[in-house]
Amino acid sequence: MLPYTLVIQHAAQVLTLAGGPADRPLAGPDLHNWTIIERGYVACRGDKIVAVGPMDELDLAHITPETRLLDASGRVVMPGLVECHTHLVFGGNRAHEFERKLRGESYLDILASGGGILSTVRATRAAPEAELLANALHHLDGFLRYGVTTLEAKSGYGLDRDTELRLVRVAREAGRRQPVRVVPTFLGAHVVPPEFKEAGPRAYVDFILREVLSDLKGEAAYVDIFCEAGAFLLDVAQYFLTQAHKMGFGLKIHAEQLHDLGGCEMAAELGATSIDHCDYLTPDAAGRIARRSQGRTVAVLLPLVPLFLRQDKYAPGRAFIDQGLPVAVSTDFNPGSCPSKNLWLAMSLACLKMGFTPQEAVAAATLNAAWALGHAADCGSLEPGKRADLLLLNVGSVAEIPYWLGENPVREVIVGGELQ
Ligand code: NIG
Ligand code: FE
């Protein structure tokens, strides 16, 4: 009988996230009603979870002197957080624009004046690769302390062939050098770079399709595009995603962040894995997306962004859930609209501003976020066979998680069965 290598025992609650359908994200009542085990344990062998259950079912025959025992008395054990939307790799920062924003300039005004995303593009193009890597590693260390064990990293601050490929390369290298698993996404279609100002958005996406995407096969599974006034309008976004899909890429979109252009519905029709932001997506459109995608497209909600951009409009998350649309929650970590890595705070805001329950917020930042990354088969829940990525928290119940506003509740992080 093979011994367990690690057992976390006597947990006040084990948040398993198990109990929903195996073939799609949690939606509707399932988002809240997954299994919580009171007085439970989680057993791991090597980098995998092998058993989860109540303490009175822990099989002592598997515990030997080599088994590491971790006492979770009075505390919550849950899966590692899955951070499914970040812009991890960039040069510089935008503290100078923070002050402009505080004086009343809007996000799109700052972008139209050549700042915003374009200011980070200039800093990123100028940064040596080693500096980009060092910055990314610094941010990943911060995410790991917050209990993030899988993280998506978008490119999008190069907007030329070499720099965009460099950003994907840096994300992958950063993933190899530390414990957090990094999943790169290609966001070359973030905004139109200055070199294509005359030629226009369609010419720029044609350039990406022709000269960049072929080099990304096997390097990034998804492409993303920013569908917004001042970036790419609906027709160009549809054209880009359609062509990229034909080349074998999975699809994501930044849409309905500042206006309702119909980007979410368009992308979902094309089979997008996730539609992100959704602040201006209507409940009716959410219902149509849920039905037509058969509950497979995940709406990734990013509540720290309206907070940081000083906007009153938050995605109507409660209505989305009631319409049966699967939802995830993420930070959108980036230097412009969310310089925060605090996914716990995003979960609190999902409750306070979008009407989530604590259970729904936890599911949105774990299992449904894993679905939004195409990684639900190996992370996002505590079930036998999944990677042993788990957290021991300082709190005693799921309700406390979004309650301690702005705190980091993480006591221990385990990645692939290893205590960090
Ligand atoms: O997801 N909205 C577009 N892109 C990012 C922000 C990027 C930036 O401002 O640097 C976002 O919010
Ligand atoms: Fe984003």
- C-alpha atoms less than 13 angstroms from C-alpha of 285 in its C-beta half-sphere: 22
- For domain 6-79+381-419, the question of CATH label 3.40.190.10 is answered with no
**What's the pLDDT band for 376 if we cut at 50, 70, 90?**
very high
Q: Please check if 394 is assigned to a binding site.
A: no
The pair of structure tokens assigned to 275 is: 């539609």
Summarize the confidence of residues 244-272 as an average pLDDT.
Answer: 98
- Residue pair 163/194 in contact by the 8 Å Cβ criterion: no
**What's the pLDDT band for 399 if we cut at 50, 70, 90?**
very high
Bridge partners (DSSP) listed for residue 222? 185, 250
With a 6 A CB cut-off, is 119 part of the ligand 1 pocket?
no
pTM here is 0.98
pLDDT at residue 1 is higher than 90: no
Q: Please check if 218 is assigned to a binding site.
A: no
**What's the pLDDT band for 266 if we cut at 50, 70, 90?**
very high
Alpha helix (H) residue ranges in 247-366: 263-269, 283-292, 304-308, 317-322, 343-354, 358-364
**What's the pLDDT band for 116 if we cut at 50, 70, 90?**
very high
273 Cα: distance to centroid of ligand 2 (angstroms)? 15
With a 6 A CB cut-off, is 90 part of the ligand 1 pocket?
no
Please write the tens of the pLDDT for every residue from 325-363: 999 999 999 999 999 999 999 999 999 999 999 999 999
Alpha helix (H) residue ranges in 249-303: 263-269, 283-292
- Residue pair 150/375 in contact by the 8 Å Cβ criterion: yes
Separation CA 202–CA 235 (nearest Å): 9
With a 6 A CB cut-off, is 335 part of the ligand 1 pocket?
yes
Ligand 1, pocket-test mutation among 108, 278, 314, 332, most atoms within 8 A of CB: 332
Residue nearest to atom 12 of ligand 1 (CA): 337
pLDDT on residue 371:
98
Separation CA 128–CA 107 (nearest Å): 28
The pair of structure tokens assigned to 63 is: 């515990």
Residue closest to 6 by CA, chosen among 53, 69, 58, 49: 69
- For domain 82-372, the question of CATH label 3.90.1150.10 is answered with no
With a 6 A CB cut-off, is 86 part of the ligand 1 pocket?
no
With a 6 A CB cut-off, is 263 part of the ligand 1 pocket?
no
Please write the tens of the pLDDT for every residue from 288-331: 999 999 999 999 999 999 999 999 999 999 999 999 999 999 99
Tell me how far the alpha carbon of residue 17 is from its chain's centroid: 17
Summarize the confidence of residues 383-409 as an average pLDDT.
Answer: 98
Q: Please check if 62 is assigned to a binding site.
A: no
Bridge partners (DSSP) listed for residue 11? 40, 73
Please write the tens of the pLDDT for every residue from 206-225: 999 999 999 999 999 999 99
Residues of the chain with CATH 2.30.40.10: 6-79+381-419
With a 6 A CB cut-off, is 340 part of the ligand 1 pocket?
no
From the CB of residue 27, how many other CB atoms can be counted at a distance below 10 Å? Answer: 21
Please write the tens of the pLDDT for every residue from 159-210: 999 999 999 999 999 999 999 999 999 999 999 999 999 999 999 999 999 9
pLDDT at residue 135 is higher than 90: yes
pLDDT at residue 365 is higher than 90: yes
Q: Please check if 284 is assigned to a binding site.
A: no
Residue nearest to atom 8 of ligand 1 (CA): 336
With a 6 A CB cut-off, is 30 part of the ligand 1 pocket?
no
User: Token match 């190996």: residue?
Assistant: 378
Q: Please check if 139 is assigned to a binding site.
A: no
Q: Please check if 385 is assigned to a binding site.
A: no
Residue nearest to atom 1 of ligand 1 (CA): 332
86 Cα: distance to centroid of ligand 2 (angstroms)? 6
DSSP state of 24: S
Ligand 1 atom with the shortest distance to the CA of 157 = 10
Residues of the chain with CATH 3.20.20.140: 82-372
Average pLDDT value over all residues in the chain: 97
Residue nearest to atom 5 of ligand 1 (CA): 337
Separation CA 20–CA 64 (nearest Å): 33
Specify the 3-state DSSP secondary structure of 151: strand
